[in-house]
Amino acid sequence: MREEKYKSMTPTTKESQRAELHKTIWRIANDLRGSVDGWDFKSYVLGMLFYRFISENLTVYINKGEHEAGESDFDYARLPDAEAEFGRKETVAEKGFYVLPSELFQNVRERAAKDENLNETLQRVFKNIEGSAVGTDSEDDLKGLFDDLDVNSSKLGNTVAKRNEKLVKLLDAIGDLPLGNFEDNSIDLFGDAYEYLMQMYASQAGKSGGEYYTPQEVSEVLARITVMGKKRVNKVYDPAAGSGSLLLKFAKVLGRENVGGFFGQEINLTTYNLARINMFLHDVNYEKFDIAHGDTLLDPQHWDDEPFEAIVSNPPYSIKWEGDANPLLINDERFAPAGVLAPKSKADLAFTMHILSWLAVNGTAAIVEFPGVLYRGGAEQKIRKYLIDNNYVDAVIQLPPDLFFGTSIATCIIVLKKSKTDNSVLFVNATDEFKRIGNKNKLTPDNQQNILLALANRANEDHLIKLVSNEDIAANGYNIAVSSYVEEEDTREVININALNAEIADSVARQAELRASIDELIARLEGVE
């Protein structure tokens, strides 16, 4: 009998489920990776988690249909492959993929320890799962999802036997994760496991992790900003999607059923795969998401889908792009209105212009920005002039430092709208809205609520909030740094001069007495000699 190293009884409450899951995941991830860097090994853990998810998701889906039809003893996992073929076409149309019974996670795992060709078995299974979508509407959503789960990589071992040994451990560990029965979970455990793993790996990966993962509490406040006062949005979009976590916050905030579709684009191939996996693991079906691969600034993939009612993004800070070295870009309808392109060394405001262009008239965008874009001169000042003069900037929020992985910089959020009710910008100083947890600052639910209330009330508050007219911003050189309008509170102690002078006079008098006593003592000692 296999030693079930990570097995435990399935917790029944949300809190206990989540706590047990997180405790176990950390141990598993470190046990398995060995000498492999955590950020590199994430694809194996997350890919295998995805394999388990789609296997259980499909099994539950098919079993439910058969049970409702009166076949109470039906179990898809025990069905011969030949008999399972009958439902392939209809199932792919509904779920987007198909897995034969013999290729289900649980069945491959059951045979794994005795399968001398396990690496080949898994490679064939992954190819077949992707192949099940070829020629269907879900083909683009499944294509290449397992590419980063290289079962023949030397990272797993120097020989086939050692690699297979590691793969058996990986299958067992993921299979023993306390996720319980798929249909009985009181929380989105697969999605929660994914988010915890991504955060865990990103926190250890420094800058490389921070580029592709936005902490959950930041994602949530961004999503809530864009849907304030709304119960449903037609489409949400992130032009620098990363792992997809930011987009998926809308499912939590509004509910999956109240989001018409999830759209995004990611330039890094591995992260693009992880974003699509993230969608599936949060049970967002293939027809409800469209994550594209490529350079958003140079080759945007969602022209047919814009405009978007809600846009959120944490684009890479101050990366290089072609800018005015590409003569075509100044005529691009996304960038042309400003009359100037973002500097070649700082693409931040190029993302901002792209987002504004694709924002619906009734929509809201919330963008995490590097602080330099708020006050630098040159082309960036001209772009800010365009944004302010056309009344697109709704608010600027200064965030606390050290929120993000890979950087300790205090970033800001720029909120954009095309249909504002006033000609002013709300400046919010939220630098004190955090709690130190571990080695990072976090936005607690109370911190998030305070930021949202400031946006909703739109009222001045000394040292914290200031509503400034567009005319005053123009007069200040289109500087939109929060510190230029919200005066910091002077926390220095107030000094009572009279009391201080009296204190000094008293000290001088006591000092004089002490000197006299010392002189007297010295004189006596000299007299003794």
Say if domain 208-421 classifies as CATH 3.40.50.740. Answer: no
Question: Beta partners for 367?
Answer: 313, 414
pLDDT at 62: 94
Question: What is the sign, positive or negative, of the torsion defined by CA atoms of 77, 82, 83, 88?
Answer: positive
pLDDT at 422: 95
List the chain domain ranges.
Answer: 14-204, 208-421, 493-529
Say if domain 14-204 classifies as CATH 1.10.1060.10. Answer: no
pLDDT at 5: 44
Global pTM reads: 0.85
Nearest to 78 by CA among 94, 97, 95, 59: 59
State how far Cα 514 lies from the chain centre.
Answer: 66
In sequence order, what DSSP letters do the residues of 93-154 get, joined into one string? Answer: HHHS----GGGSHHHHHHHHTT-TTHHHHHHHHHHHHHHTTTTSTTHHHHTTTTTT--TT-G
395-411 burial code (b ≥16 CB/10 A, e <16):
bbbbbbebbbbbbeeeb
pLDDT at 138: 94
Cis peptide before 80 (omega within 30 of 0): no
pLDDT at 238: 97
Q: Which residues of the chain have pLDDT under 50?
A: 1-11, 186-187
pLDDT at 438: 83
What tens digit of pLDDT does each residue of 397-422 get? 999 999 987 788 889 999 999 999 99
Nearest to 342 by CA among 330, 332, 350, 334: 350
CB 355 within 8 A of CB 365: yes
pLDDT at 481: 96
What tens digit of pLDDT does each residue of 14-55 get? 667 677 777 777 777 777 777 666 667 788 888 898 999 999
Token digits of residue 324: 């005015």
